[in-house]
Amino acid sequence: MLKKSRDRLATSRSYKDWKSGVSYSQLVQSTNGFSTDNLIGSVRFGSVYKGVIPSDGTIVAVKVLNLQQQGASKSFIDECKALRSIRHRNLLNIITACSSFDNQGKDFKSLVFEFMANGSLDSMLYPRCEEESPSKRMSFMQRLNIAIDVASALDYLHHHCETAIVHCDLKLSNVLLDEDMVAHVGDFGLARFLFETLNDPTFSQTMSSQLKGSIGYILPEYGTGGQVSIVGDVYSYGILLLEMFIGKRPTDDMFKDGLSIYQFVAMSLPDHVMDVVDRSIIIDLEANGNVNNDIVRERTPSRRNNRGSVKEKKLKECLVSVMQIGLSCCAMSPKERMLMDSVVRKMSTIKDSYLKV
């Protein structure tokens, strides 16, 4: 614990060195010339690189905007504005920004963030190769904690900021995980202060053109000029929640001919929830002796069987509750959607119930 505290103090000092601003040349140095070896991934308006603050080796994430892409400059301004006015443990913390010129005299814009050691929730849920699967298998409790973290971040944006903020682009790749598997919501390039959105009649058209890359998470009304509001984020959260626990993207090939992720889950509740849940959740419980199976029943005393049976029953009960929250959040009627403050309370209750077993 003491070592972790010291590490955080060192990190804080390093960030302070860059708080007042950072130059293009410093970012070039920290990312080894924006080397492909340092490339972490891509986001809507650019690329993210792993950087190292030269003074003491603290690792950061450097988001470089592709200014050739329409909307990138506005995204930079909006993201700076949103992140400057908010602070929450489950939101990605911005360290500094850079608006300058590169070596060719072209405009250069970049944002520097805390580095998230465990990458995105997308890469955690869908490992790129089979070798990563065992190490990146997430337990039910890890998923539940992450889901609560994301809900807490949205609750803060929607209900506890001076002016409500709509994220507008919530999805797995925009949820980042630190070394302790705490979730941080990031990529606020499309975030909007609600009062500005209401006074901007052209914004719905802009949203329609920019949100094509997030099909599956975006409220259908946004694509037809619907009003941007917090219930759009709620819808996206509902889809994300279902995806987290069944391990299938909303754009999976199986979802066609009228079958959506919403319908797939709804048809399974409550009796067949264990048939649709991500198998790695079950595997995790089996590995820890908490799920009854034929082999266990034949070779193990009843005391262990009983514990396994109770744990399995509680898991099923909690999964049904989680899925019901997800379905409520992504209901087609906005009036039927559960707001994020209620989601946080209900998800926390589910967690407490599971931990008591």
Full strand arrangement of the beta sheet holding 107-114: 39-43, 46-52, 59-65, 107-114, 94-101
Q: CA 7 to CA 27: how far, in whole Å?
A: 23
Q: CA 114 to CA 94: how far, in whole Å?
A: 7
Residue 263 burial (CB count, 10 A) = 12
Contact at 8 Å (CB) between 50 and 31? yes
Is 210 strand, coil or helix? Answer: helix
**179 burial class (0-12, 13-18, 19+ CB within 10 angstroms)?**
exposed
Q: Report the catalytic residues.
A: 169
Q: CA 4 to CA 96: how far, in whole Å?
A: 23
Two tokens, residue 270 = 């409550």
The three-point CA angle 91-92-93 to 5° equals 110
Candidates 78, 302, 290; CA nearest to 193 is 78
Q: E-strand spans in 84-212?
A: 94-101, 107-114, 165-166, 175-177, 183-185, 192-193
Contact at 8 Å (CB) between 321 and 348? no
